[in-house]
Structure 1
Amino acid sequence: MRINTMIDEYRRLLRLAERDKKMIKDKLTKLDRRRTMTLQKRIHEFHDEVFAEVDCLKCGNCCREVGPRIIEPDIVRIAKDQNMKKNTYIAHTMVSDEDGDWVFKDCPPCPYLGENNFCHIYDVRPRACKDYPHTKDRDIHKRLKRLAIDTQYCPAAYLIVNKIIEEFKP
């Protein structure tokens, strides 16, 4: 199914994710841990299937609603791209959150989110942005609670979770 009216379809999926929030959390919590390698492999396959259809540029909700955690290599890479020294970049653009992690000031929305959901630093974007919703991570099967939360922000995460629930019937 090729999604033609992307924005409307994504909004619909996010409404469904909100409606199904408790069911998703309950089902992902109940998944049989004995199938971890199979589960992880299938989640990676579901990721590829879903992202063959989903166009993040037609959504951008993660950039508007979720602030990424910024790690040291991200800071160095972005500072260099912005022609700034690391400490100057941190002072001008970063704050430490309640967990002690670096995040962008006044985020969300992301300060680099541009018109038509384009990222002004796409080539050097933070790893958390590049990997979102983290469904290709090696240990995704251990972070299903986080994936359940991500369905509230990412239509692709919602579609992936539905595939997990349909196949594994927790």
Structure 2
Amino acid sequence: MSKELLHNWEKKSAEKQKQYKSFLQRADKNKVLKQLPDLHEEAFTHVDCLQCANCCKTYSPRFKTPDIKRISKHLKLKEGDFIEKYLRLDSDGDYVVKQSPCPFLGSDNYCSIYEVRPSDCERFPYTNEDVILKRMNITLKNSTFCPAVFYVLEKLMKS
């Protein structure tokens, strides 16, 4: 069932954006939050991030001040030099990577700064926290490039 569910997931997700939005708008928050930990775990028994890495190839996390401090130190760069080399300000005033794919993504889909990665990366794809409901536009966008988000939404809608 899960292999079948994930077959052609990008196309299915694109076709179901209105259904997902409607579901998220009317979802029973407590019921959804209760299901998320198990569905999150289940999704990652079927989705291998190292085979995908769509998030790192197409999307940038926000680099918040603590992230910039931690990563700069790790790379032995001054914060200003790190920002100048890797980051830009987006339309929301957040620091994001200058280009896609992420400059820290290796050809093997491993992250070269994984131990000190931004908190957005660590928390992504938010399928085990209330962000999935609270920030519906992010959830909908994520479902178009992350098979785990697609998987969790599909399972939630069937429950």
**Quick one: distance in 2 between partners of 1:17 and 1:62?**
15
- Map 1:84-95 to 2 at 5 A: 84-95=77-88
Aligned residue for 1:81? Answer: 74
CA shift for structure 1 position 96: 1.0
Aligned residue for 1:143? Answer: 135
Aligned-residue Cα RMSD (Å) equals: 2.0
Is 1:23 aligned to 2:19, yes or no? yes
Do the aligned residues in 2 keep the contact of 1:28 with 1:148 (CA within 8 Å)? no
What 5-or-longer segments of structure 1 have no aligned partner?
A: 4-8
Do the aligned residues in 2 keep the contact of 1:28 with 1:165 (CA within 8 Å)? no
CA shift for structure 1 position 101: 0.5
The alignment of Structure 1 onto Structure 2 pairs a total of residues equal to 158
**Quick one: distance in 2 between partners of 1:165 and 1:52?**
19
Is 1:60 aligned to 2:56, yes or no? no
TM-score, scaled relative to structure 2? 0.89
The aligned amino acid for 1:158 is: F
CA shift for structure 1 position 138: 4.5
What 5-or-longer segments of structure 2 have no aligned partner?
A: none
Do the aligned residues in 2 keep the contact of 1:25 with 1:148 (CA within 8 Å)? yes
**Quick one: distance in 1 between partners of 2:68 and 2:89?**
13
Question: What per-residue deviation string (whole Å, max 9, x for no partner) do you get for residues 53-104 of structure 1?
Answer: 2110010111111111111111111111111111221122211111110111
